[in-house]
Amino acid sequence: MPTVDVINMENQVVSQVELDERVFSAPVREHLVHQVVRMQLASRRAGTACAKNRAMVTGSRKKPWRQKGTGRARAGTRQSPLWRGGGVVFGPSPRDYSFKVNSKIRKAALCSVLTQKLREGRLKVLDRMELPEMRTRRMAEVIRTLGVKDGLFVIPQKDENVERSARNIPKVQVTVVEGLNVYDLLRHEHLVIVQDCLGRISERVVRG
């Protein structure tokens, strides 16, 4: 099993912890990571773009002029796409862009990214992450001490002091362990996990 140092908020080593090899020593499968990222981004698309076709444009359905004898081109309706204010041909319509990826692929992709973070030395394990009050300055000091300019912090449960203290710091994101996902891991250079989260990540991967 891989072993890493556990540090405190002052960046001092306080102990060591063994990581689950099923999660942090998994094969890195880039094609699965790509598939899961595509799924996450697709599910975020609103899909609300819409243009009116000739059936949706309001106005009279009366024939503008008689068929023959006027010298003008034939016309049957003012909703024609050829006319100004008429309908749009093959325009966008509301749709759902999301698609599903089975749980085994999602878990394999998550393990792939976690393994890659560990191999590249961009994974840190904290003994705890607590702030006595909401202060961006204090959170910035902790981040500077840990040497994490661009990082994702994973905490065991919601903590408003930590989350709100970090939300105005560029390139820093705080998430609870249940919200850990492949896209956020790839967006940030470093991953900082509170020690209590490790067991729950393993349970999430192994469960089912």
Average pLDDT over residues 3-13: 95
Q: pLDDT tens, 105-137?
A: 999 999 999 999 999 999 999 999 999 999 999
Q: What is the pLDDT of residue 144?
A: 95
The HSE-up count of residue 155 (CA atoms within 13 Å, CB side) is 16
In a domain? residue 124: yes
In a domain? residue 75: no
CA distances in angstroms from 48 to 88, 137, 203, listed in the order given = 16, 40, 37
Percentage with pLDDT > 70 across the chain: 100
CA distances in angstroms from 53 to 33, 48, 84, 89, 93, listed in the order given = 39, 15, 13, 6, 9
In a domain? residue 71: no
Give, as one character, the DSSP assignment of residue 103: H
3-state secondary structure of 205: helix
In a domain? residue 58: no
Q: What is the pLDDT of residue 206?
A: 79
In a domain? residue 65: no
Kindly report the pTM of this predicted structure. 0.86
Supply the angle between the helices 30-44 and 103-119 in degrees, to the nearest 10: 120
In a domain? residue 43: no
Q: pLDDT tens, 73-86?
A: 999 999 999 999 99
Q: What is the pLDDT of residue 205?
A: 87
Q: Mean of the per-residue pLDDT values for the chain? A: 95
Q: What is the pLDDT of residue 44?
A: 95
In a domain? residue 137: yes
Integer Rg of the chain from CA: 27
3-state secondary structure of 175: strand
Tally of structural domains, the chain: 1
Q: What is the pLDDT of residue 69?
A: 96
CA distances in angstroms from 5 to 2, 39, 137, 205, listed in the order given = 10, 34, 26, 22
DSSP string, 104-173: HHHHHHHHHHHHHHHHTT-EEEES----SS--HHHHHHHHHHHT-SSEEEEESS--HHHHHHHTTSTTEE
Tokens of 208: 């089912």
CATH number of the domain that residue 173 is part of = 3.40.1370.10
Q: What is the pLDDT of residue 180?
A: 96
Instruction: Please say whether the beta carbons of 105 and 36 come within 8 A.
Output: yes
Domain range enclosing 120? 3-26+103-206
In a domain? residue 92: no
Q: What is the pLDDT of residue 125?
A: 97
Biggest CA pair distance of the chain:
95
Question: Whole-angstrom Cα distance, residue 135 to residue 113?
Answer: 31
Q: pLDDT tens, 150-199?
A: 999 999 999 999 999 999 999 999 999 999 999 999 999 999 999 999 99
Question: Whole-angstrom Cα distance, residue 19 to residue 1?
Answer: 6
CA distances in angstroms from 17 to 7, 130, 144, 196, listed in the order given = 10, 20, 24, 11
